[in-house]
Structure 1
Amino acid sequence: MEIDFSRIKVIGLDADDTLWVNETYFRDTEEKFASLLEGYETKNRIDQELFKTEIRNLDHYGYGVKGFVLSMVESALEISNGRIPAKTIAEILELGKTMLEQPVELLDGVKEVLDNLQKKYRLIVLTKGDLLDQERKLERSGLSEYFHHVEVLSDKKEENYLHLLRHLDIDVEDFLMIGNSLKSDVLPLLKIGAQAVHVPFHTTWQHEEAKVKEGEFGYLKINRLSDILEYLK
């Protein structure tokens, strides 16, 4: 669907799975976690229990690798009825460190898009997760120079966006958000009167899935980030 972007002055971009690969590492780690616990439960049950623990812990730990690791440890203790060996706990912690040390893999066309957009628009990063990890990834990405502001939010709900836009003195009508999550990067923006573009990633965390009827909301869906250059010139 085409949207009138003529008023847009500021563009916010999600980071994980919009600028660089992220969710793939979580899914790979879940597979390894299930292998560590295969003597206690089926893979399907382990996946279910880990997801329930993650959701239960969001209010305590927020989003990101560190909270994910703590949830894996908690799930391992629950699934094993406290019988999990210390050696396996150490292996779970090592899985988390491996995730944090992953090189930043930019998605196709990211630098080309930022090169073009920065000539006309003010660009900001709006992501959620662990502050230290997100700052580290941005530094490793080599993309810092493109952005006027970087914000790591505790969550991406309407009130979070409104508070930030007010703080940065940005009118909602002048703002466009681009991201891979309908739930976090698109729907909250539309509800506060801003514009949004959805760029799906091939893997989506279950918690970020949102069912939307076609035509129910006015947003643009593109296949890859570089497609936005057809609309923002």
Structure 2
Amino acid sequence: MDDTLIHCNKYFEMILCKFADVMLEWFSEYQLTNSEIRSKQIEIDVAGVLKSGFASKHFPQSMIETYHYFSRMTGREINPAEENQLMELGMSVYEQNIEPYPGMVETLDILEHQGHELNLYTGGEKAIQERKIEQMKLASYFHDRIYIRQHKNEEALEQILTSRHFDRENTWMIGNSLRTDIIPALAAGINTIYIKLPNEWSYNVVELKNEPTTAMYTVSSLEEVPSIIAESIAAKQKKRTL
């Protein structure tokens, strides 16, 4: 869902820009750079998600830990009021107005019209993700086929695929994350469409180590998805008739 059907990363980027500005102000006498601050936050952020999954407090905590790191490095005193300010700043990312990606409704309408059963798989805390789903009225497309997991990995996807009947040869994973969408889907033997986004969160950017044994396409927009699936199905049917 996040950064596939609706915007997500841009809100985190907005908060991180504010965080860097605040840090540069607090540590002005120590000549920190924006790059140093952002690099350390990314390092801490990625390590935390790998350990704890998509917990809501992890993001503000990564900013607080970055603040602690530079406080120790410079000898600047840690201020509880500043810690609280960072926690509030970080948690505010979940209060942003939600925006759909261009073509979200049209793409889902086309896929539904083509006769596909639509399933929604997303990572995060249940209450936060359910609020987004309700605001975007996505349940009208996915009904009870909505799966929210704090950890998105091969184990989580396999559990979903075995929880009900999925014809893996004709099942598709569509997502923007190589780490949590594409690699687990390829390992599970289903087809994939990777929506490659500019300025992707570094956590999502990993290397594909093995050659895909199922169909894998790379696109730059959600709106390309229906035609790719339709063409793939047509090609399979043609092959069977030869």
Per the normalisation by structure 1, the TM-score is 0.84
**Residues 165, 171 of structure 1: 8 Å contact kept:** no
Q: Matches of 1:129 and 1:138 in 2, distance apart?
A: 12
Find the counterpart in structure 2 of residue 79 from structure 1.
70
The Cα RMSD (Å) is 2.1
Max radius of gyration: which structure? 2
Seen in structure 2, the aligned counterparts of structure 1 residues 190 and 59 have a Cα distance that, compared at 3 Å, is closer
From 50, 53, 62, the equivalent of 2:53 is 62
- Identity among equivalent pairs (%): 29
Amino acid in the other structure paired with 1:225: L
Amino acid in the other structure paired with 1:91: Q
Q: Matches of 1:195 and 1:73 in 2, distance apart?
A: 39
Q: Residue 59 of structure 1: CA displacement?
A: 5.2
Q: Matches of 1:181 and 1:108 in 2, distance apart?
A: 18
Find the counterpart in structure 2 of residue 12 from structure 1.
none
Q: Matches of 2:202 and 2:122 in 1, distance apart?
A: 18
Q: Matches of 2:92 and 2:48 in 1, distance apart?
A: 22
From 120, 127, 136, the equivalent of 2:131 is 136
Amino acid in the other structure paired with 1:104: I
Q: Which runs of 5+ in 2 are unaligned?
A: 231-242
Find the counterpart in structure 1 of residue 85 from structure 2.
91
Q: How does 1:164-179 map to 2 (within 5 A)?
A: 164-179=160-175
Amino acid in the other structure paired with 2:192: A
Does residue 230 of structure 1 match 2:227?
yes
Which structure has the higher relative contact order (CA within 8 Å, separation 6+)?
Answer: 1
Q: Residue 141 of structure 1: CA displacement?
A: 1.4
Q: Residue 64 of structure 1: CA displacement?
A: 4.8
**Residues 4, 195 of structure 2: 8 Å contact kept:** yes
Q: How does 1:93-112 map to 2 (within 5 A)?
A: 93-112=87-106
**Residues 63, 90 of structure 2: 8 Å contact kept:** no
Q: After the TM superposition, list the runs of 4 or more consecutive aligned residues in structure 1 that deviate by more than 6 angstroms.
A: none
Q: Matches of 1:208 and 1:231 in 2, distance apart?
A: 23
**Residues 113, 225 of structure 1: 8 Å contact kept:** yes
Per mean C-alpha deviation after superposition, the further-off stretch among 216-225 and 117-126 is 216-225
Per the normalisation by structure 2, the TM-score is 0.82
**Residues 57, 91 of structure 2: 8 Å contact kept:** no
Amino acid in the other structure paired with 2:9: E
Q: Matches of 2:56 and 2:184 in 1, distance apart?
A: 24
Find the counterpart in structure 2 of residue 26 from structure 1.
12
Q: Which has the higher helix share?
A: 2
Does residue 49 of structure 1 match 2:35?
no
Aligned residues, how many?
218
Q: How does 1:107-122 map to 2 (within 5 A)?
A: 107-119=101-113, 120-122=115-117
Amino acid in the other structure paired with 1:201: L
**Residues 180, 198 of structure 1: 8 Å contact kept:** yes
Q: Which runs of 5+ in 1 are unaligned?
A: 1-14
